[in-house]
Amino acid sequence: MYDVLIIGSGPAGYTAAIYSSRAFLKTILISGFTPGGQLTTTTEIDNFPGFPKGIMGPQLMLDMKVQAERFGTEMITDEVQTIVKNTDETFTVTTGNSSYQTKTIIVATGAQAKEMGIAGEEQFRGKGISYCATCDGFFFRDKQIIVVGGGDTAMEEATFLTKFASHVTILHRREEFRASAIMLERAKKDPKISFITNTVIESFSGDMKLTGVKLKNIVTGETTDMPIDGVFAAIGHTPATAFLKGVVVMDDKGYIQVRGMKLATDAHSQTSVEGIFAAGDCVDMRYRQGIVAAGTGAMAAIDAERYLEGKTTT
């Protein structure tokens, strides 16, 4: 029987693990099949306090893992499939390979890049269509690329990709951008980046690999063919919470609802089920920052600890 079972291995999961194992709670962390989470697909992280010269994303995540292991967190690489609350208020968590008994659960499964949902997308995945600029940019040296999206991620990826590509076109379905002023300005100033707005991709074309897209202007309805070597999707994220359907209350996008900061004395990370807490990007569609995820991970661990204390004293 574990005191705390953590699902997820991004900054929220690892921070929760550091806090709960350091508080002498018997802690297990089930990492999923992308240990380290979204930050492992980034390069330099410049806004995580404590690293004045910046730190590489994969390195930061490895350090967090080692720190959690130092206090005795047990690490398992597996994916959780079901959660069942038992009559004695403990939980049975089943993975692909095994099952675990625990008194509390912290869900920190994060989010993953959204797919575009366009015909042919699956066919050209990894053959011109990518969801990770830092992973795949290297293969587009002196090539023409489209980045789809209008947020900070799109600007960041476009700017990063100019290191390799001969030209980057940012394609956005609206006129206005969600991206912060500083990120948008940086992209606009870049001579290798141009913008097409009010436009979407209607279809992909190519044989063995992607060679072109059909674009559609959503204001005029006009379509044009554009030869292209690569399309990078940066259209946002979707929370990795499908396995929790029917277990905890979520919004229509799949973000887990937690109690939040309504009362200063509340357990902010408490979900609709007593004993299940949630932290990080799977509850947060507004901030989506590593440091915020780490912070809410600490909150969830403290909430779980207090919940367990409450159980033993009553």
Partner 1 sequence: MADITVTDKNFDEEVLKSATPVLVDFWAVWCGPCQTQGPIIEEIANSFAGKAKVGKVNVDENPQTAGKYGIMSIPTIMIFKGGTVAKQLIGLQSKEMIVSELNKLI
Residues identified as active-site: 132, 135-136
142 binds partner 1 (CB under 8 A): no
Q: In the set 20, 27, 42, 199, which binds partner 1 (CB under 8 A)?
A: 42
Residues of span 44-63 touching partner 1 by CB under 8 A? 57-58
**Nearest to partner 1 of 43, 257 (CB atom):** 43
Strand partners, 213: 204, 226
Distance set, CA 81 to CA 73, 93, 119, 254, 276 (Å): 21, 8, 29, 16, 15
Residues of span 212-251 touching partner 1 by CB under 8 A? 230
Closest distance to partner 1 from the beta carbon of 35 (Å):
5
| CB contact at 8 A, 18 and 68 | yes
**Nearest to partner 1 of 24, 138 (CB atom):** 138
Closest distance to partner 1 from the beta carbon of 214 (Å):
21
Closest distance to partner 1 from the beta carbon of 96 (Å):
6
Closest distance to partner 1 from the beta carbon of 287 (Å):
22
Question: 163, 129, 123: which is closest to 147 by C-alpha?
Answer: 129
Interatomic CA distance for residues 223 and 33, integer angstroms? 40
| CB contact at 8 A, 169 and 195 | yes
Among 29-37, 170-178, 237-245, 298-306, the segment contacting partner 1 (CB under 8 A): 29-37
Question: 282, 251, 252, 253: which is closest to 269 by C-alpha?
Answer: 282
67 binds partner 1 (CB under 8 A): no
Interatomic CA distance for residues 71 and 28, integer angstroms? 11
Q: Which residues of 217-233 are buried (b: 16+ CB within 10 A; e: fewer)?
A: eeeeeeeeeeebbbbbb
Residues of span 252-271 touching partner 1 by CB under 8 A? none
Closest distance to partner 1 from the beta carbon of 41 (Å):
5
Closest distance to partner 1 from the beta carbon of 198 (Å):
29
Sort strands 129-130 and 230-233 into parallel, antiparallel or unpaired.
parallel
Closest distance to partner 1 from the beta carbon of 78 (Å):
9
Distance set, CA 19 to CA 182, 189, 210 (Å): 35, 43, 47
Among 120-128, 163-171, 175-183, 268-276, the segment contacting partner 1 (CB under 8 A): 120-128
290 binds partner 1 (CB under 8 A): no
Q: In the set 74, 136, 152, 202, which binds partner 1 (CB under 8 A)?
A: 136
Q: Read off the tokens for 146.
A: 């489209």
Q: Is the dihedral of CA 67, 68, 70, 71 positive or negative?
A: positive
Q: In the set 22, 127, 178, 186, which binds partner 1 (CB under 8 A)?
A: 127
Among 21-29, 126-134, 216-224, 233-241, the segment contacting partner 1 (CB under 8 A): 126-134
126 binds partner 1 (CB under 8 A): yes
Number of C-beta neighbours around residue 200 at 10 A: 17
Residues of span 73-112 touching partner 1 by CB under 8 A? 77, 79, 96
139 binds partner 1 (CB under 8 A): yes
Question: 20, 29, 26, 19: which is closest to 1 by C-alpha?
Answer: 26
Contacts 24+ apart (CB under 8 A), 94-101: 95/30, 100/2, 100/5, 100/28, 100/30, 101/1, 101/2
**Nearest to partner 1 of 36, 297 (CB atom):** 36
Q: Note the residues at the interface with partner 1 (CB under 8 A).
A: 33-36, 39-43, 57-58, 77, 79, 96, 125-128, 130, 132, 134-136, 138-140, 208-209, 230
